[in-house]
Chain A
Amino acid sequence: MKNYFSTRWGIIAVGALIGLLAALLQKMGNPPNMGICVACFERDIAGALGLHRAEVVQYMRPEIMGFVLGSLVAALLARDFRPRTGSAPVIRFALGFFAMIGALIFLGCPWRALLRLAGGDWNAIFGLLGLAGGVFIGTLFLRGGYNLGPAKKAPKFVGFAMPLIMAGLLVLAFMNPPMAGEGKSGVLFYSLKGPGAMYAPLLIALAIGLLVGGLAQRSRFCTMGALRDLILFKQMHLFSGLIALVAVAFLANLAFGQFNPGFEGQPVAHSMGIWNFMGMVLAGLAFVLAGGCPGRQLFLSGEGDGDAAIFVVGMIVGAAFAHNFAMASSPAGIGANGITGLVIGLVVCLGIGFFGMRKQA
Chain B
Amino acid sequence: MTEILDERGLSCPQPVLDTLKALPSVQGGKLSVLVDTEAARENVARAAESKGWQLASVEEKDGEYTLHLVKNA
Contacts and interface: CB of A to CB of B under 8 A. Distances in A.
Task: Please determine whether chains A and B interact with each other in the same assembly.
Answer: yes
Interface of A: 3, 6, 78, 80, 82, 84, 87, 142-143, 147-153, 220, 225, 228-229, 232-233, 235, 237, 291-292, 305, 307, 360
B34 to A, nearest CB: 11
Nearest to A81: B63
A150 B9 contact: yes
B24 to A, nearest CB: 14
A225 B17 CA distance: 13
A150 B8 contact: yes
Contacts, number: 56
Given A233-B47, A237-B46, A152 B17 contact: no
Contacts of B8: 150
24 contacts: A80-B37, A80-B38, A82-B37, A147-B10, A149-B9, A150-B8, A150-B10, A151-B9, A153-B36, A153-B63, A220-B39, A225-B12, A225-B13, A228-B13, A229-B13, A232-B13, A232-B17, A233-B16, A233-B20, A235-B47, A235-B50, A291-B12, A307-B11, A360-B21
- B interface: dominant SS: helix
A82 B36 contact: yes
A147 B12 CA distance: 10
Contacts of A147: 10-11, 14
A296 to B, nearest CB: 8
A216 B23 CA distance: 30
Contacts of B50: 233, 235
Nearest to B36: A82
A141 to B, nearest CB: 11
B12 A292 contact: yes
Contact of B63 (A82, A229, A292): A82
Given A82-B63, A232-B17, A6 B42 contact: yes
Interface residues of B, number: 21
Interface string B27-45: 0000000001111001100
Contacts of A153: 36, 63
Closest 3 CB pairs of A and B: A150-B9, A291-B11, A80-B38
A108 to B, nearest CB: 23
Given A87-B11, A235-B50, A291-B11, 13 more contacts: A87-B9, A147-B11, A148-B11, A149-B9, A151-B9, A220-B42, A225-B13, A228-B13, A233-B47, A233-B50, A235-B46, A291-B12, A291-B13
Nearest to B38: A80
A121 to B, nearest CB: 30
A262 B4 CA distance: 54
B9 A152 contact: yes
Contacts of B36: 82, 84, 153
Contacts of B39: 6, 220
A142 B11 contact: no
A78 B38 CA distance: 10
B22 to A, nearest CB: 10
Contacts of A82: 36-37, 63
A150 B37 CA distance: 12
A267 B43 CA distance: 37
Contacts of A305: 11
A127 to B, nearest CB: 23
